[in-house]
């Protein structure tokens, strides 16, 4: 029997998929949430996962597993821990270079796709018997499908688009969630993600100054490490200056700069 699992990102689309699975409208008995770290995921995402998503899944017979990146010695590694480890030169997040373009992004592959892949392979998925993996992409972001590279042990599928008639858009997903008696989840992302929109950073600065201050401190740490290596600074926004200055300066421009996608692989921010 083919293993069927849904990559649960903790956001609107994947939560709508959870409701659809719970009401037998799509066939995914297992949902997998790869937690990149309790110190890394946005606290609102983790709160929603434990307060709403997991109890809802349990009530409806859906197995929603929270996974972590585990080292060979059995310890758990977090994304924030990787970034702040003394002496670390690793930059797995897509920090913005001096030209505003994102650097190499390894965080999703290492802390989400491989973590979920490890679970799938441990439960029988292989190149000969690939698991069917549901991805929470809706019709209004269909361009993301082309960017989701399949691993040998999996067959990605997009039930919100191809298993629903008509295909679902984000607002349809929100409607489905509300109809199930659940609140609509916040957008899921690490609290320091460089793909956060300028408007999101501005709201964080206003509403959650502690999170904003932590992001500024992390950015400063990364800049100082780059400087010690004789390299150009990197930033958490594309405005080529520190976050604390960039958000304040760019607020009048926020509406026209608010169209950048958060993720293009379907494993997170869905």
Distance separating alpha carbons of residues 143 and 121, to the nearest angstrom: 28
Stretch among 34-38, 79-83, 143-147 having the lowest mean pLDDT:
143-147
As a whole number, mean pLDDT of residues 180-205 equals 94
Please, what is the end-to-end C-alpha distance for the chain in angstroms? 27
Domain-ending residue, one of 129, 156, 188: 188
As a whole number, mean pLDDT of residues 214-229 equals 95
Q: Are residues 18 and 105 in the same domain?
A: yes
Q: Are residues 139 and 182 in the same domain?
A: yes
- Burial (CB count <10 Å: 0-12, 13-18, 19+), residue 156: buried
- Determine the pLDDT at residue 256: 45
User: Which structural domain range is residue 210 located in?
Assistant: 196-259
* Signed CA dihedral, 20, 21, 23, 26: sign only: positive
Q: What is the pLDDT of residues 222-256, one digit of tens each?
A: 999 999 989 999 999 999 999 999 987 434 444 44
- Determine the pLDDT at residue 268: 59
Are 116 and 151 in contact, with CB atoms under 8 Å apart?
A: no
- Burial (CB count <10 Å: 0-12, 13-18, 19+), residue 167: middle
What pLDDT band is residue 148 in, cutting at 50, 70 and 90? Answer: low
> Is the confidence at residue 6, as pLDDT, over 70?
yes
Q: Are residues 24 and 112 in the same domain?
A: yes
Q: Are residues 253 and 156 in the same domain?
A: no
**How many separate domains does the chain show?**
2
Domain-ending residue, one of 155, 188, 221: 188
Q: Is the peptide bond before 166 cis (omega within 30 degrees of 0)?
A: yes
As a whole number, mean pLDDT of residues 95-113 equals 88
Task: Tell me how far the alpha carbon of residue 55 is from its chain's centroid.
Answer: 21
Q: Are residues 68 and 142 in the same domain?
A: yes
Q: Are residues 39 and 173 in the same domain?
A: yes
What pLDDT band is residue 133 in, cutting at 50, 70 and 90? Answer: very high
Helix (H) or strand (E) holding 115: helix 114-122
Record the pTM: 0.90
Angle at 207 between CA 204 and CA 212, to 5 degrees: 40
Q: Which residues of 4-13 are buried (b: 16+ CB within 10 A; e: fewer)?
A: bbbbbbbbbb
Domain-ending residue, one of 153, 169, 188: 188
Q: Are residues 61 and 122 in the same domain?
A: yes
Question: Would 101 be classed as within a structural domain?
Answer: yes
> Which two tokens mark 41?
């995921």
As a whole number, mean pLDDT of residues 208-215 equals 96
């Amino acid at each position: 029997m083919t293993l069927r699992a849904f990559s649960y990102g903790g956001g609107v689309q994947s939560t709508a998929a959870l409701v659809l699975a719970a009401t037998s409208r799509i066939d995914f008995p297992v949902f997998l949430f790869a937690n990149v770290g309790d110190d890394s995921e946005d606290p609102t995402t983790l709160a929603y996962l434990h307060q709403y998503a997991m109890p809802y899944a349990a009530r409806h017979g859906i197995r929603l597993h929270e996974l972590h990146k585990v080292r060979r010695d059995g310890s758990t590694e977090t994304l924030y821990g990787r970034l702040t480890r003394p002496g670390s030169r690793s930059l797995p997040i897509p920090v913005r270079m001096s030209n505003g373009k994102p650097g190499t992004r390894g965080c999703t592959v290492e802390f989400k796709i491989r973590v979920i892949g490890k679970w799938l392979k441990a439960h029988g998925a292989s190149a000969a018997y690939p698991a069917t993996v549901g991805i929470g992409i809706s019709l209004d972001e269909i361009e993301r499908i082309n960017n989701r590279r399949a691993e040998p042990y999996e067959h990605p599928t997009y039930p919100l688009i191809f298993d629903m008639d008509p295909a679902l858009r984000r607002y349809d997903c929100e409607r489905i969630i509300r109809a199930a008696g659940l609140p609509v989840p916040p957008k899921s992302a690490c609290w320091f993600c460089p793909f956060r929109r300028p408007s999101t950073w501005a709201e964080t600065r206003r509403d959650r100054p502690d999170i904003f201050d932590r992001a500024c401190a992390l950015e400063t740490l990364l800049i100082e490490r780059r400087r010690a290596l004789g390299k150009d600074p990197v930033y958490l926004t594309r405005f080529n200056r520190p976050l604390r200055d960039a958000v304040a300066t760019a607020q009048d421009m926020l509406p026209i700069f608010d169209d950048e996608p958060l993720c293009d692989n379907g494993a997170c921010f869905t």
